[in-house]
Amino acid sequence: MQEKKRFAVVRLRGSVGVREEVEDTLKMLRLYKVHHTVIIDNRPSYLGMLQKVKDYVTWGEVDAETLAAMLKKRGRLIGNKKLSDEIVQKYTPYKTIEEFAKAIVEFKAELGDIPILKPVFRLHPPKGGLKGSKKRPYPDGGELGYRGEAINDLLKKMI
């Protein structure tokens, strides 16, 4: 059995000219718009979905520090209110957003533990722009597909 990992998935391309099955898969991942990001794990069903949409998203292993920054700055509750340490304390056994983020990465907690937390992070376009093409895979000098730990650098530019 493979080791469990948390992935951050960022949609980089729009929906013009997208095949219907790919668009449906993006909707299942809750990636409705460009620069929306979700946190998932690496179970086989998600990996299959990522392979289907690999020409429209980039993903990699998110670390606790980046996830905590995303939760602080971009975590939204129902009613578009910001996530705070008080909300984390109310719904989880953790005292701060940093502890909660660390627990999520270590699979001791889930984003769903806070029922009023929206599962999608709406990020800015990356500061300084993307370094490669939005039409080529990451290993070939583009931006799409699996990028491993390098996803954290992209997310920090987008928060």
Q: Which residues partner with 55 through β-bridges?
A: none
Q: Is 59 left (phi over 0), alpha (psi -120 to 50) or beta?
A: beta
End-to-end, the C-alpha distance of the chain in Å comes to: 34
Q: What is the pLDDT of residues 14-63, one digit of tens each?
A: 988 999 999 999 999 999 999 999 999 999 999 999 999 999 999 999 99
Architecture of domain 64-117: Orthogonal Bundle (1.10)
Architecture of domain 6-63+123-158: 2-Layer Sandwich (3.30)
DSSP states of 33-69 as a string?
STTEEEEEE--HHHHHHHHHTTTTEEEEEPPHHHHHH
Which band of pLDDT confidence, cut at 50, 70 and 90, is reported for residue 3?
confident
**Mean pLDDT score across all residues of the chain:** 92
CATH 1.10.15 location in the chain:
64-117
